[in-house]
Each structure stands twice: as C-alpha cells, then as structure tokens.
Amino acid sequence: MRLDVVTIFPEYLEPLNVSLVGKARARGQLNVHVHELRTWAYDRHNTVDDTPYGGGPGMVMKTEPWGEALDSVLADGYETGSRAPALIVPTPSGRPFTQELAVELSGRPWLIFAPARYEGIDRRVTDEYAARMPVYEVSIGDYVLAGGEAAVLVVTEAVARLLPGVLGNAESHRDDSFAPGAMAGLLEGPVYTKPPLWRGRDIPDVLLSGHHGKIARWRRDEALKRTAANRPDLIERCDPKGLDKKDREM
Ligand code: SAM
C-alpha cells in the first residue's frame, strides 16, 4: 500500500517510523511519502492560509498550494505505477472513523492524506478531487484538535495493522473489539497473563480449565458486560447470530 501525507508539519509524522507501522515500512508492506505543503507556496512567506470569505475568526487553507501539492503527489504516484488513489481528509465534521472504515481503507492500494490546520481547507479542494477519486472526510472523535496530523497517525495505524503480514499473528485482530464474527462487534473483555496470583489477585478459574467452549462462553459474557457498561449502543447494533440465547438474555 502507498501512503502520501501532505502537511505543514512533516516532523509530526515521524512516529510513522516507529513500531508496527515503522516495521511495515521497513519490510516494504507500506510505502510512505510525507510532503511539506509549503513546497507548493510561492510567495516570500510561503503562505498557505488566508482570511475567510464571509468574515469570522481564524484562517482558511488556500486552494492553490493544496491543488498543486495533490496534483504533484498524484503525478508521482501514477508515474511509479500506483493506481486507484483515495483522498482522506481528516475533519471533525467528517464521518466517524470506525473499525469498519479501517477495514474498507485497508483494501485500497493508495491513500493520500490531507490533514489541515487553522479552520480547515477551502471547500473547493475537496470538491475538485471528489470529482476524480473517492474522498473520505473522517473524524476520529467528537472533539476538535489543532490539526489533522494526529488523525493521520490514528488512521494509518488502524489500517496498517489490518494489512496482510503486518501483524505477527494474522488471527490476532479477529477477536478485537468491534470485529464482526465471533465477537459480534462488541468490546473485548478483560485479559490476563502470568503469574496466576499477583498481590492477592487471582485470575478467573475458567481460564485455567483448558475447556475451550467454556472459555469462549466466558469471553463472550465478559464482552457483553463490558459493552453494556461502556457502549450500550454497540449491543443494539451487534449481530445477534454471533450470540447464543443465554448471551441475548443478559
Ligand atoms: N473549524 C473546524 C471545525 O469546527 O470543524 C475545526 C478545525 S481544526 C482547529 C483544524 C484541523 O484539525 C481540521 O481541519 C482537521 O484537519 C483536524 N481535526 C481537528 N479535529 C479533528 C477530528 N476530531 N478528527 C479529524 N481531524 C480533526
């Protein structure tokens, strides 16, 4: 998968060299390019923002640098054989970024991120590229950050761990919170490791029973309890086929 990020703070993306994403890059599973937006600003001060039409506080990112930057990124990608780009525009007014959307994006070969600063990017930029490729305006939560770079890191990490061969154990996201199938879209319950006794606290007996059926049932019950406590909206939406009668009665 190819990833391009256009930003006025390239250094903000340095965590893309670390841990899971860094290793995926080193192994060639992710091909990441970070671009400085000001490269495409031509006045003496490399200006990328201006005052908003209609008045109001704050500044708006200008069309011209973004248009030139995105055209240049697209030309480079096509030249080197990348195809089917999608533009990701982080914004608090976008659709919520969910595991389902992470799965969808992980199936695309080329993602281009346009994280903004100030009050966001002039709307015409999104409209222009929406005419040429899928554009995903995504929000990582109901709060307002100072810029979209943190959202790029969030989306990239969620997507990268779904790519084939990136996680050591290919099964390990199957039982994650929000995963369809065995977990029916619920939150994952508590997890434990050795030692069996720590500061007088032991672990649930069932986990030592070696009985796979009972362990699976316990995990599902715990997932239901945690989901009911923290995210009752997910219970409403979960796939009832994934749950047996006893689970539904809880
Ligand atoms: N005026 C905008 C609004 O109220 O919707 C907020 C702009 S915010 C200060 C600057 C940039 O940070 C946004 O354009 C976006 O790129 C990013 N950003 C802020 N909050 C975000 C969120 N919850 N999800 C994704 N991106 C966010």
Of 94, 211, 205, nearest in space to 155 by CA = 94
Q: pLDDT per residue over 139-161, tens digit each?
A: 999 999 999 999 999 999 999 99
C-alpha distances in angstroms, 206 versus 192, 219, 247? 12, 10, 17
189 labelled as ligand-binding? no
Cα 138 from Cα 182, distance rounded (Å): 27
Decide: residue 141, CB within 10 A, 0-12 exposed, 13-18 middle, 19+ buried: exposed
Q: Judge if the beta carbon of residue 141 lies within 6 A of ligand 1.
A: yes
Q: What is the structure's pLDDT at 131?
A: 97
Query: With a cut of 0.95, is the ipTM above it?
Result: yes
The residue whose CA has the least distance to atom 21 of ligand 1 is: 92
Outline where DSSP puts E strands in the chain. 2-7, 31-36, 49-50, 60-61, 85-96, 110-113, 135-139
Q: pLDDT per residue over 85-134, tens digit each?
A: 999 999 999 999 999 999 999 999 999 999 999 999 999 999 999 999 99
Q: Judge if the beta carbon of residue 120 lies within 6 A of ligand 1.
A: yes
Contact 65, 73 (CB under 8 A): no
Q: What is the structure's pLDDT at 182?
A: 66
Q: pLDDT per residue over 159-183, tens digit each?
A: 999 999 999 887 778 889 998 876 7
Of 148, 140, 141, 136, nearest in space to 111 by CA = 136
Cα 52 from Cα 102, distance rounded (Å): 33
Percent of the chain with pLDDT over 70: 96
Q: pLDDT per residue over 22-37, tens digit each?
A: 999 999 999 999 999 9
With a cut of 70, say whether residue 246 has pLDDT above it.
no
Q: What ligand 1 atom has the least distance to the C-alpha of 146?
A: 9
141 labelled as ligand-binding? yes
Domains detected in the chain: 2-160 (3.40.1280.10), 181-249 (1.10.1270.20)
Query: 123: alpha, beta or left, given left = phi > 0 and alpha = psi -120 to 50?
Result: alpha
Q: What is the structure's pLDDT at 242?
A: 65
Mean pLDDT score across all residues of the chain: 94
